[in-house]
Structure 1
Amino acid sequence: MHKPHLFILTGASRGMGLAMAQQLLRPGHALVCISRHSNAGLQDAALASGVALEQWQHDLGSANAAAAERLQAWLETHSAIALAGGAGSAAPSPLASPFASATLINNAGLIPPIAPLSASDPAALAQGLRVGLEAPMLLCAAFLAATEGWAVPRKVLNISSGLGRRAMASQAPYCAAKAGMDHFTRCLALEEALKPHGAKVCSLAPGVIDTDMQTQLRSAHPAAFPDAPQFASLKTAGMLTTPADAATRVLAWLERSDFGTHPVADVREP
């Protein structure tokens, strides 16, 4: 029996995250989704396609440590089962893996209420940084620690943003979270390159997508957000990518033979 390819995806209940989850429901895959809410349609699609799906409900703005701890325990349990399964052989491999490959996709994110930093709510700032930066770091740490002994391909795909590389007024927490994601991914790439079975990692900007975040940006009052007209014009000019098309492009990048060669990238690059 062939081992499945494991995908762990955050923010899978809507938008591009949901589109990625739907496209990952293919034979030979196993999918774990971590979101504030489960998606009944996704569960139905998994049953119809015969793909193993788990949906864990965690609010990464308040329970990101719990999500990381659950992920690490879940992976270690599966690893122990794989080792036990080889106990009858003469020399069970310490690199036994229950999956053919393992991939973590940190997609969850949010934009706090749009305002200059001086007018921002401290609780909203903290929540934005927990979801956009702290949670991906904790989940990466848990994933890499629990799978370090697996001699199978392992990947981490962090969904970044052009705003992590371009400053914008009234977007300090979101820009800071995505810039931090880019830079900690660079650090991960250096660390994993030193290991015999190191993971390939990339922080990828997915382009401009027609999601609730875009609605939030273009609907903001120009007095609070000077770039609101620019985002409105993207919608008017039809320059936004659909969540499904964006998901297709992101997952295609994940499958590239040179994935991880550049730890910070943009899906619009060749």
Structure 2
Amino acid sequence: MTTHLIFLTGGSRGMGLAMARQLLHPDHQLICLARNRNDALAQAAAAAGAPLEQWQVDLGAPAQAAAQLSDWLKKQPSGQYQKATLINNAGVMPPIAPLSSLTSEELSPALRVGFEAPMLLTAAFLGATERWPAERKVLNISSGLGRRAMASQAAYCAAKAGMDHFTRCVALEEALKPRGAKLCSLAPGVIDTDMQIQLRNADPAAFPDLQRFADLKSHDQLDSPEQAAAKVLAWLQREDFGTEPVADVRQA
């Protein structure tokens, strides 16, 4: 019998895939929401005897994804799971350039995937499980860039800052309820992913902070996706999870 229901966005690559692999367990019902399926993850789940579903959804159309999640949850018996967790991990970085040079088509995906989707999915998850007796948590994967302004990163920084602040607001709301959920918007540190490659390959004329990111790589200061995933999931298991609704794994 599965005792822990876990939704994870962006679980098909990068740190999201590393988290998905580490979450595979016979007692976990893992549901990954991403644009693409990951066949290797499916094979790993089968080998581990771990329940896994991979929903192919476009988080750039977040209302549809939230409706699918809500509809699925409402069909589940309220006492089926001891724990229920939503991990909003997916994010999109638009072209690294000043806001004035970017188009709406370039900016919109970053805001929809990075901010609107987590907010709508959180609303759907909390609303559909409000009467469940299960322990409920929402873990939003934020970034230090949500707390530090950076040129040529306006959309990404704004999406993460918005994620931090809506987490603060919803944590206050849930604290007023008898069985309210615990929420945390967590910065996972600096990770060696495709996003870091994108930052290091940016146009130096458009991105004044390029050298900082090049130095992180050259000085071996980046966590692997697997290392970062382990730190994030360890935070999720902390007894004081949600006490601080905005946190950083480097505070541990």
Superposed displacement of residue 27, structure 1 = 2.2
Aligned letter for 1:70? Answer: Q
SS in 1 for 2:231: helix
Q: Is 1:49 the counterpart of 2:48 in the alignment?
A: yes
User: In structure 2, the residue corresponding to 1:155 is in which secondary structure?
Assistant: strand
1:227 pairs, out of 189, 194, 209, with: 209
Is 2:3 the partner of 1:38? Answer: no
Letter paired with 1:249: K
Return 117-126 or 130-139, whichever deviates more: 117-126
Select the residue among 85, 103, 107 that pairs with 2:85. Answer: 103
- Mapped to 2, the partners of 1:173 and 1:233 lie a distance apart of 24
TM-score normalised by structure 2 residue count: 0.99
Matches of 1:124 and 1:197, distance apart in 2: 40
Percent identity over paired residues: 67
The match for 2:70 is 72
Note the alpha carbon deviations across 1:142-184, whole angstroms, 9 max, x for none: 0000000011110000000000000000000000000000000
TM-score scaled to structure 1, two decimals? 0.92
Alignment of 1:202-221 (within 5 A): 202-221=184-203
SS in 2 for 1:136: helix
Letter in 1 for 2:14: G
Q: Which residue of 2 aligns with 1:89?
A: none
Q: Equivalent of 1:174, from 132, 139, 156?
A: 156
Q: Amino acid of the residue matched to residue 64 of structure 1? A: P
- 1:131 counterpart (113, 134, 146): 113
SS of the residue aligned with 1:43?
Answer: helix
Q: Is 2:25 the partner of 1:26?
A: yes
- Which residue in the other structure is 1:92 paired with? none
CA distance in 1, matches of 2:79, 2:202: 48
Note if contact 2:15-2:228 (Cα within 8 Å) is conserved in structure 1.
yes
- For structure 2, list consecutive stretches of 5 or more residues without a partner in the other structure: none
Give the equivalent residue in structure 2 for 1:118. 100
Distance (Å, rounded) in 2 between the aligned partners of 1:110 and 1:51: 29
- Given that residues 34 and 58 in structure 2 are in contact (C-alpha distance below 8 angstroms), is that contact kept between their aligned partners in structure 1? yes
Q: Comparing 222-231 with 164-173, which one deviates more in the overlay?
A: 222-231
Query: 1:221 aligns to what SS in structure 2?
Result: coil
For residues 243 and 138 of structure 1, what CA distance do their matches in structure 2 show? Answer: 26
Q: How much is the aligned-residue C-alpha RMSD, in angstroms? A: 0.8
Q: Secondary structure at the match of 2:145?
A: helix
Amino acid at match of 2:248: D
SS of equivalent to 2:75: helix
2: CA distance, partners of 1:202 / 1:177: 16
Q: How many residues align?
A: 252
* Deviant stretches of 4+, over 2 Å: none
**What is the alpha-carbon distance in structure 1 between the residues aligned to residue 89 and residue 27 of structure 2?**
22
Shift of 1:50: 1.1
SS of structure 2 residue aligned to 1:268: helix
Which is greater in Rg? 1
Listed as ranges, the gaps of 5+ residues in structure 1 are: 83-95
Choose which of 125, 136, 139 in structure 2 pairs with 1:143.
125
- Higher mean C-alpha deviation, range 45-54 or range 247-256: 45-54
**How far, CA to CA, are the matches of 2:229 and 2:23 in structure 1?**
10
